[in-house]
Amino acid sequence: MTFNGGCACEAVRFSATAQPTDAGYCHCRICQRSTGAPVLAWVSFQTQNFSYTRGVPARYQSSKHGHREFCSNCGTQIAYRDSHNAATVEVNVGSLDDSAQVKPRYHIWYSSRIPWFDVSDNLPRFDGPKPQGKET
């Protein structure tokens, strides 16, 4: 299965050629601020299965340990990855051509959720990152 996507102006395109390793919702303040949305839906791919097929994204160091990749033309945020030795790339679900291909499995940083944003699903919620080894 292939997962294709890109930015709003189509200057940056990507492809992932294997099944995702994870998917979820993030409620952290960095995701809220970098997307302008109350929550970010993301999907993880192994870095060796992900590539940009058109254009080169700009990078923004969003924290001590990671950076965001986005289109410098239209501003669409496409992905997050660790800045050093990244094993995965976390792609914003909204940047996929077919966002329905992915179904988030849990919520992280739920303690940072905006109080008026109602989450009505029954997915597991973690106040911080997903605990290591915790299957969802």
Q: Whole domain around residue 105: which residue ranges?
A: 3-112
* Total of domains in the chain: 1
Task: Kindly state whether residue 120 falls inside one of the protein's structural domains.
Answer: no
Residues paired with residue 22 on neighbouring β-strands, in sequence order: 44
Residue 41's alpha-carbon distances to 27, 38, 92, in angstroms, are: 9, 10, 6
Task: Kindly state whether residue 50 falls inside one of the protein's structural domains.
Answer: yes
Rounded CA separation 108/124 (Å): 9
- The pLDDT > 90 percentage for the chain reads 88
Task: Kindly state whether residue 134 falls inside one of the protein's structural domains.
Answer: no
Task: Kindly state whether residue 34 falls inside one of the protein's structural domains.
Answer: yes
Q: What pLDDT shows up at residue 130? A: 84
Whether pLDDT at 63 is above 80: yes
Task: Kindly state whether residue 80 falls inside one of the protein's structural domains.
Answer: yes
Indicate which CATH number applies to the domain containing 64. Answer: 2.170.150.70
Task: Kindly state whether residue 124 falls inside one of the protein's structural domains.
Answer: no
**Residue-wise pLDDT tens digits, 91-125:** 999 999 999 999 999 999 999 999 999 899 999 99
Task: Kindly state whether residue 118 falls inside one of the protein's structural domains.
Answer: no
Average pLDDT of every residue of the chain:
94
Cβ-contact 74, 6 below 8 angstroms? no
Put simply, whether the predicted model's pTM sits higher than 0.85 gets the answer: yes
Q: What pLDDT shows up at residue 54? A: 98
Q: What pLDDT shows up at residue 133? A: 61
Cβ-contact 84, 100 below 8 angstroms? no
Whether pLDDT at 136 is above 70: no
Q: What pLDDT shows up at residue 135? A: 61
